[in-house]
With several copies, the nearest count.
Chain A
């Protein structure tokens, strides 16, 4: 897989494993411990995601975006990063986030509506979740430009969906990156749907990868359910970014097996057959088969992981749920380095109004009766 040799007009999908978990080409040069790590993060993310869905259904968590099905794309990419590379996420990033040292409890807090969940461990170069689609892409370019100005040696990985490629910010960001020649890797998780909008209504382009040609740098198409292929391609792109300070666009073809967010009902817009088809391509299963053949995966080991995941998830739920209520000052205190007078008095007003509250807000339920 030579990035320079990439042919823009008809990108072929890069695979290391076939859909049955069989090696296609050469054995990739990855240490067993790394393989085990990859499997762990994919598995842990799956479990943590499933738990979140339960919490949400039980009314213990708000709306969130499940990652089920995209674990290989996320973990394959994030494990290709170095610690001091920058990670610039969209909003469906549990797998990469966990692998990038963001404790699960943070993620749970965030989706329980608690801003404190946005705190990132101090020494990790991760940005917080970006909700407005594709808007984080130019930030990645700016970070990469900063790295370049500082002499390079690091790279930025930003991730986004297929839908994101329709936004102006995708275009402006990638075009800047091409002109500035910065060490940024643009990683598209093409899960084939943007909520209910299928890929073919999103763009008339055959692939996302070929869009890179418009910006004068390589675009690579990879099987996003093949964690080894994702890892390989991303690693090369990041390395090239670090060494030569140049950008790459990667399209990882995958599938969102769950709903868009917990507010979504995918049965409204996509067929059961399609879902079935992709459930069979489960990236965790596929990787497990490979690992099993290599003698790395065993039932015992799986039991260990189950237990470990369960414990960590329980801890995370406890930590997220047993947190003291936010202080009203939190709404204001991070607005500016120094709070303007006006904001201070708004803060005081809020505190006073909570302290002196007499009338509890009732739910708006003027069924039929409203004027």
Chain B
């Protein structure tokens, strides 16, 4: 066991997989000499050399497109987009190709790539540095979308993502990068992609979220506990494939659902979760399934950013409303 934050944990996973598998390569802007702007790729260039750890030109579509070619060749590229806000130019390559080569080629080809990006707000960043549009990725058939919220999950899921023969987008909640440490097993650690985790068990209401919303949900649950409301907290960890079973099991138990999402409200992944719950668990629901989300505005400059993200206060109030409903 070692104490690690999320940055350490992803870094550890990269080191381990690169040692184990020669085909794993790192590429992206500033991932080499600078070791990533968040230092997630620390020590890799030094250990594995420029052959396997490569600073690229400033071109996101190029980074993803070239990674696809590497993947088709048989390499296992782990590419970085420096901030999720700069993933937009790469969406064409993701949706037109990375996600389709296996299908298009009748299973003959595959793209075993991982696309890493820090995402989300709360760190006083400049415009375009706080975006969360994971729902867009989840809407693209053929991509897996993994979002850890703890160091242990970050390590285990990164290892699984690298080993996955299909393309995985791996989003790292940068607000949590160094927010806390956790004991993480040394060496091999595998967490299954597509499995949600019940962070906290409860009886009265189910909170579902991912990324930087998870610790907020836990705090809200603590607050609610003081009011004798027992909250179950589910960390999705992967939004595609979506772990409906875990969420619906919980809804059947609690009868109430609140989805907490940092991203813009309209068309966010929360709506998918609620649509499924309303479809399949209507009779279990004792109150309307609700969302606490970001607003339908661009993520603001930092003086207003705390307003833009669901906070514990808002979550607790929605919990109360649902309980009292």
Residues of A at the B interface (CB closer than 8 Å) are: 62-64, 91, 110, 112-120, 122, 127-135, 137-147, 149, 163-164, 166-169, 172-173, 175-176, 179-180, 194-197, 201-203, 263-264, 268-269, 325-326, 328, 330-337, 340-343, 346, 350, 353-354, 356-362, 364-371
Contact = CB atoms under 8 A, between A and B. Distances in A.
Interface string B84-113: 011011001100110001111111111000
Contacts of B30: 195-197
Contact of A172 (B61, B109, B311): B61
B93 A135 contact: yes
B85 to A, nearest CB: 7
B261 interface: no
A142 B29 contact: no
Contact of B65 (A115, A118, A172, A335): A172
A262 to B, nearest CB: 11
Given A63-B126, A328-B307, 4 more contacts: A142-B75, A145-B66, A172-B57, A337-B110
Contact of A197 (B58, B104, B127, B314): B58
A241 to B, nearest CB: 15
Contact of A368 (B180, B312, B316): B180
A176 B219 CA distance: 46
B69 A140 contact: yes
Nearest to A264: B37
B161 interface: no
B69 A139 contact: yes
7 contacts: A63-B125, A116-B106, A131-B128, A146-B74, A168-B59, A172-B59, A172-B65
Given A62-B124, A139-B65, A118 B105 contact: yes
Nearest to B180: A366
A194 B71 CA distance: 27
Contacts of A113: 124, 301-305
B72 interface: yes
A122 B109 CA distance: 10
B53 to A, nearest CB: 12
Given A63-B126, A167-B58, A341 B73 contact: no
A370 B307 contact: no
Interface stretch (B7-15, B247-255, B282-290, B292-300): B292-300
A195 B194 CA distance: 36
B241 A357 contact: no
A335 B102 CA distance: 6
